[in-house]
Chain A
Amino acid sequence: MTSVTTKQYTDDVSLLMVLVDTNPLFWSSTTTSFSFSKFLSQLLSFLNSILLLNQLNQVVVIASGFNSCDYVYDSSLGPTNQRVETLLQKLEEFVSKDEELNRDDSVDGIGSSLLSGALSMALCYIQRVFRSGSLHPQPRILCLHGSQDGPGQYVAIMNSIFSAQRSMVPIDSCVIGSQHSTFLQQASYITGGVYLRPQHLDGLFQYLTTVFATDLHSRNFLQLPKASGVDFRASCFCHKKTIELGYICSVCLSIFCQHHKKCSTCGSAFGKPQTSDSTTNQKRKAPDT
């Protein structure tokens, strides 16, 4: 990693990618006591503080909507005296575009925002920064997320998390919804970011500046909140039962509590288990093909 660090300005110059949840159903949900304008007010103040912390700091905001996601602000572009106006203008346009894309008017619950897309966009941006110019700031991603996790996005999100881990980009999570997010718990755990679900949303700005404003170098000396024991134990695909030992499809990594002839997820056919062998061999079975 020495080669990468030599390309940094100094250890406290940050590129902060902020992913903002703009799922309209979340913001109008019955459990959200916190209006979007209050949220924006605190977020904008936070972004201004980041830019004031270091002249070389850079902030990029990505909105993750219900149907799409897009960059809504990049501090390296445009005039510095109209930041808030530029961001709000872009955000309004984004919301209108997101609505145009909407086909389905009857949504179960509050739906989910496109976290996977937003994460991918953030990582692409970071990769571009890595490859351009002679010096670059140290990147990190902050997810301000409130919607429910979208189960359909699982594979895409896990892929993003692992690419972030590989590029050593931490994903910080600030969950503003009433439920914990399994996705973000994993994301922060795997990438070494901070996961936090603030108790007092009125003080969101205080949480953001106290916990999430710290650059990666300073984190070595600080004791930031740690996620208290996330249970990453898996449950089987067939009965949703938590298991400690099971069968894993070697093609698609689905988990089963008992031996099946065929993988219900990807359709691979399994061979017979070799019962004569020691039990350790039963943990994994290769498909017959």
Chain B
Amino acid sequence: MDASQVVKRVKYKSSVKAPGIDGILKMTRERFTFRPNDPSKSQSLNVDFRLIKGHKSSKEGSGKPALLNITKDQGGYFFEFENFPDRELCRDFVAKAIIANTSSGASEKATPINNEQLSSAEMQRRIKLLQEDSELQKLHQQFVMGGVLSETEFWATRKKLVDVNASRRVKQRVGLKSDMTFNVKPSSDGQSNRVTFNLTPEMIHQIFAEKPAVRQAYLNFVPNKMTERDFWTKYWRAQYLHSARNIVATAAEAAEDEELAVFLKQDPILASETRQKIRKVDPTLDMEADEGDDYTHIPGHGLAVENTKDELEAQYEPFKRSFMQDINRHAAVVLEGRTIDVETADTRTVAEALASSKRVELAKEASNGNVNQERLDRISRMSEIEDLQAPREPPVAPLCIKDPRDYFDSQQVNATNQEAGTKQMKSRLSTSEAYGSLRVFISEIRTVGLSDPIVRPEVAVMVFNGLTQNISSSKYQLGKNPHESILDTLPRVTKEELLLHWTSIQELLKHFWSSYPITTTYLYTKVISALLSYYVEFVPFVVIFSM
């Protein structure tokens, strides 16, 4: 009975925003008390659990304080805990205390399942699981927050889930962010001309991965030629110039500062990598063949085309940079993922690791020399001048299907077998007579006009009955066709709601049966007051399901 009372260090607040008073919270089965550390403060509490209607708590792991709100009919009490495990413990305790005090046969002898003290890693895992699985989160909210099950009981049946996820998580590596760091908006104080850029190790990694020239420049310049701070200042200066889109000013600044020019000019390492990639593309690839395949009726893939000015002189050419290029490069790097395994904030290490991983890649490529030869052969084969070649046997045989009707018969057999008594239809007239009568019918309607009424009311009723009978009889069709379920015929929202109830019932039943045999009063209380009353709410749904 170690959980017959709980004592924790907390801050008591009259509202969420209030500063709070440090003190000790003590909870027993019947009541909770709060005693401030400073005896001169008068906000001590002594509240009977019978007055308490419920409890709420703040979200975990969101950087917010661990709050617990114990609610009365009117108002309530806020307690801020030092950590989440403390809060969890007290919350479970409050939940049980409320149940014990509201149910008629409340007894002092109730034996709750011992609350384990959770490690923060365990806690993180649970939070993660809840965040990833919205269904689990709903169940958790409904039962644990609602006080039907305790946190421990809820997770007890899911030990495997927590463990499996833990072992799997280790293997997965986090990829790069898909945001474009380069469009980071500088923060400006609005008064001076000074702008501030925030740079994180994550961003540095991404910049180095996407811009090999910047990475190379860093290795060359820092720390011999300039400090790291100067380096990044120059880098952001360059970004700022680009974002201003004044190519003339950009060129002028580059001419004055040769280090800045490195950032302003197009990336030569990237350019050579691109050239190499282009060389690897199959030269016989027919890009036009794919074109008609797509929604080509949408011009420019929905992107507004940047109008390029022709009058730009050649001297500015190296400073031109298109947004499209940036996006493509960024996408390529993100897709490639983290190529290095360095978990450090040290900029130089990251730069070196990236540079060496690139070198390894290049060396690998250089070693398959015959790939290049193959490619050359292929070009010469494909680009040969037809007139000068002897006629060659076609490498493929033309498809020659003797009788396409076979395909039809292959399926028709089953379809027509279904309807008994298929009649061989015959025309009453010869072909030319039939054409004549068709024309007579058309001219008939041209002279007489449309029939009035179009449909007689009796017929319309028959049609309506026929069409709706189909719908109302659908529940009798259940199970006859395994590919169709009555659930699919319901609107999406209703379907989701039903499925949620279904999982809720399953969860409750699991706990219900696990409580047998009922040996303690605690289990008795749990089964009768919490689970059963909850279950009864769902019985109508159960009936619908079994109909």
Residues of A near any B CB (own CB < 8 A):
3-4, 6-7, 22, 24-31, 35-38, 40-42, 44-45, 66, 84-85, 88, 91-92, 95-96, 98-99, 102, 104-107, 109-110, 130-132, 148-149, 151-155, 158, 177-180, 182, 185-186, 198-200, 202-207, 210-211, 221, 223, 225-226, 228-237, 240, 242, 251-255, 264-268, 289
Q: Is the CB of A152 within 8 A of B405?
A: yes
Please pick, from B397, B406, B425, B451, the residue contacting A148 in the complex, using a CB distance under 8 A. Answer: B425
Q: Is the CB of A180 within 8 A of B466?
A: no
| Closest chain B residue, CB of each to CB of A289 | B397
Q: Residue B418 at the A interface, CB < 8 A?
A: yes
Q: Is the CB of A206 within 8 A of B460?
A: yes
Chain B contact residues, majority secondary structure: helix
| Closest chain B residue, CB of each to CB of A103 | B431
Q: Is the CB of A110 within 8 A of B426?
A: yes
**Which of the listed residues A4, A36, A204 has the most CB atoms from chain B within 10 Å of its own CB?**
A36
Q: Is the CB of A110 within 8 A of B455?
A: no
Q: Is the CB of A4 within 8 A of B415?
A: no
Please pick, from B297, B405, B411, the residue contacting A232 in the complex, using a CB distance under 8 A. Answer: B411
Please pick, from A6, A31, A105, A235, the residue contacting B432 in the complex, using a CB distance under 8 A. Answer: A105
Stretch of B139-147, B344-352, B436-444 at the chain-chain interface? B436-444
Q: Is the CB of B431 within 8 A of A233?
A: no
Q: Is the CB of B437 within 8 A of A27?
A: yes
Q: Residue B470 at the A interface, CB < 8 A?
A: yes
Q: Residue B278 at the A interface, CB < 8 A?
A: no
Q: How distant is B305 from chain A, measured CB to nearest CB, in Å? A: 16
Q: Residue B298 at the A interface, CB < 8 A?
A: yes
Q: Is the CB of A206 within 8 A of B463?
A: yes
Q: Hey, which chain B residues are within 8 Å of A225, CB to CB?
A: 467, 470
When A199-B466, A205-B455 are in contact, do A29 and B426 touch as well, CB less than 8 Å?
A: yes
Q: How distant is A3 from chain B, measured CB to nearest CB, in Å? A: 5
| Closest chain A residue, CB of each to CB of B491 | A221
With contacts A36-B442, A41-B445 known, what are 16 further pairs, Cβ within 8 A? A3-B301, A4-B298, A22-B438, A29-B426, A37-B448, A38-B451, A40-B442, A41-B450, A99-B435, A107-B427, A110-B426, A151-B412, A182-B416, A231-B418, A235-B410, A266-B399
Task: Give complex CA distance A236, B407 in Å.
Answer: 9
| Closest chain A residue, CB of each to CB of B398 | A266
Q: Is the CB of A266 within 8 A of B295?
A: no
Q: Residue B400 at the A interface, CB < 8 A?
A: yes
Q: Residue B409 at the A interface, CB < 8 A?
A: yes
Task: Give complex CA distance A148, B406 in Å.
Answer: 16
Task: Give complex CA distance A86, B430 in Å.
Answer: 29
Please pick, from B411, B430, B439, B446, the residue contacting A105 in the complex, using a CB distance under 8 A. Answer: B430
Please pick, from B412, B443, B445, the residue contacting A149 in the complex, using a CB distance under 8 A. Answer: B412
Q: Residue B244 at the A interface, CB < 8 A?
A: no
Task: Give complex CA distance A206, B49 in Å.
Answer: 66
Q: Mark B284-323, 1 if CB is under 8 A from A, else 0.
A: 0000000000011110011000000000000000000000
Please pick, from B419, B431, B439, B445, the residue contacting A107 in the complex, using a CB distance under 8 A. Answer: B431
Task: Give complex CA distance A42, B452 in Å.
Answer: 10
Please pick, from A102, A110, A264, the residue contacting B427 in the complex, using a CB distance under 8 A. Answer: A110
Q: Is the CB of A154 within 8 A of B405?
A: yes
When A27-B437, A28-B437, A221-B491 are in contact, do A154 and B426 touch as well, CB less than 8 Å?
A: no
Q: How distant is B303 from chain A, measured CB to nearest CB, in Å? A: 11
12 A-B pairs with C-beta separation under 8 A = A4-B298, A28-B433, A36-B438, A95-B439, A99-B432, A107-B431, A109-B425, A130-B297, A203-B455, A204-B455, A205-B455, A207-B467
| Closest chain B residue, CB of each to CB of A98 | B435
When A88-B442, A91-B442, A206-B464 are in contact, do A151 and B432 touch as well, CB less than 8 Å?
A: no
Q: Residue B481 at the A interface, CB < 8 A?
A: yes
Q: Is the CB of A41 within 8 A of B454?
A: yes
**Which of the listed residues A25, A178, A252 has the most CB atoms from chain B within 10 Å of its own CB?**
A25
Q: Residue B401 at the A interface, CB < 8 A?
A: yes
Within B452-481, the residues touching A (CB, 8 Å) are 454-456, 459-460, 462-464, 466-467, 470-471, 477, 481
Closest 9 CB pairs of A and B: A24-B434, A151-B408, A151-B405, A131-B297, A36-B441, A154-B408, A203-B459, A203-B463, A206-B463
Q: Hey, which chain B residues are within 8 Å of A223, CB to CB?
A: 471, 489
When A151-B408, A182-B408, A266-B400 are in contact, do A42 and B467 touch as well, CB less than 8 Å?
A: no
Q: Hey, which chain B residues are within 8 Å of A153, CB to CB?
A: 408
Q: Hey, which chain A residues are within 8 Å of B442, CB to CB?
A: 36-37, 40, 88, 91-92, 95
Q: Is the CB of A200 within 8 A of B410?
A: no
Q: How distant is B88 from chain A, measured CB to nearest CB, in Å? A: 43
Q: Residue B403 at the A interface, CB < 8 A?
A: yes
Please pick, from B428, B431, B444, the residue contacting A37 in the complex, using a CB distance under 8 A. Answer: B444
Q: Hey, which chain B residues are within 8 Å of A234, CB to CB?
A: 410-411, 414
When A91-B442, A155-B404 are in contact, do A180 and B419 touch as well, CB less than 8 Å?
A: yes
Task: Give complex CA distance A25, B431 in Å.
Answer: 7
| Closest chain B residue, CB of each to CB of A7 | B298
Task: Give complex CA distance A163, B428 in Å.
Answer: 37
Task: Give complex CA distance A60, B458 in Å.
Answer: 31
Task: Give complex CA distance A41, B463 in Å.
Answer: 18
Q: Is the CB of B439 within 8 A of A203?
A: no
Q: Residue B194 at the A interface, CB < 8 A?
A: no
Q: Residue B429 at the A interface, CB < 8 A?
A: yes
| Closest chain A residue, CB of each to CB of B293 | A166
Q: Residue B424 at the A interface, CB < 8 A?
A: yes
Q: Is the CB of A266 within 8 A of B401?
A: yes
Q: Is the CB of B425 within 8 A of A211?
A: no
Within B114-147, the residues touching A (CB, 8 Å) are none
| Closest chain A residue, CB of each to CB of B415 | A182
Q: How distant is B302 from chain A, measured CB to nearest CB, in Å? A: 6
Task: Give complex CA distance A88, B303 in Å.
Answer: 46
Q: How distant is B24 from chain A, measured CB to nearest CB, in Å? A: 58
